Amino acid sequence: MSLEVKQEGSFKYIEEGEGEVLLLLHGLFGALSNWKDVTNHFSDRYKVVIPLMPIFEMNILKLSVHGLADFIHDFIEFKKFDQVNLLGNSLGGHVALVYVRKHPEKVKTMLLTGSSGLYENAMGGNYPKKGDKEFIRKKVEITFYDPKTATDELVDEVFETINDRMKILRILTMAKSAIRHNMRKDIPQIKIPVCLIWGKDDIITPPTVGEEFHELLPQSELHLLAQCGHAPMMERPNEFNTIADKFYTKHLG
């Protein structure tokens, strides 16, 4: 299934299927296509929606984890969704956590994978060098257990972003906001069911981060996937979808 991006007003998003709403939130360098396998798997039973977060369009003075959570709220209100089930990878997980704290009545369940919010080793310890494509390739490759997952297309996409002065300024602004907004004190207040799916070989948000989320979240389950990095839904789609399936069958019926 090819994913069609729709536009309504100021919102760009993918929407496939009918039923309970699964709202998927991408990471800082994440593309909508990162969720392709999840969308294909679940859109026959649920309404799968992926909003494009305006990291490169939002007023830079409002650009923050909280600013993106407010954008997601505006989107949910615009779509007239009563309740949603949030799935977030990396920065998207962090945005989901902030959104749940602000609007707990709007969220039924949450699934986090490689989420920031407690700790993040952004880009493996330092920021990419402008103009050095091999450096960029190595930094993209550390996102995954298998370097081959970092396709030429993915590397080219990140390379283009890094070489745009305004885009890299926004990337740095968002990364700093994520580090600043640690949610350790807020997380125990999140009472909804949460599924945590983590790569055992994630070096950006290591497995210990998933374990800490599990300890702090009152209603959580943790699944660690072997030979898997920071984006389990891309690198281990079958295992990811099987775990998510069981979680949604249990809590959504």
Identify whether 144 is part of a domain: no
Residue 150 has pLDDT above 60, yes or no: yes
Whether 132 maps to a domain, the answer reads: no
3-state secondary structure the chain: CCCCCEEECCEEEEEECCCCEEEEECCCCCCHHHHHHHHHHHCCCCEEEEECCCCCCCCCCCCCHHHHHHHHHHHHHHHCCCCEEEEEECHHHHHHHHHHHHCHHHEEEEEEECCCCCCCCHHHHCCCCCCCHHHHHHHHHCCCCCHHHCCHHHHHHHHHHHCCHHHHHHHHHHHHHHHHCCCCCCHHHCCCCEEEEEECCCCCCCHHHHHHHHHHCCCEEEEEECCCCCCHHHHCHHHHHHHHHHHHHHHHC
What's the CATH number where 26 sits? 3.40.50.1820
Residue 161 falls within a domain, yes or no?
no
pLDDT tens per residue, range 110-127? 999 999 999 755 434 444
124 within a domain of the structure (yes/no): no
Query: 19 lies in a domain?
Result: yes
Residue 190 lies in a domain: yes
Q: pTM of the predicted model, to two decimals?
A: 0.89
pLDDT in tens, 41-81: 999 999 999 999 998 888 888 899 999 999 999 999 999 99
| Residue 211 domain flag | yes
> Domains in the chain: how many in total?
1
For residue 233, the enclosing domain spans 6-119+182-252
Of the candidate ranges 99-103, 117-121, 237-241, 248-252, the one whose mean pLDDT is the lowest: 117-121
In a domain, 113, yes or no: yes
Q: What is the pLDDT of residue 121?
A: 52
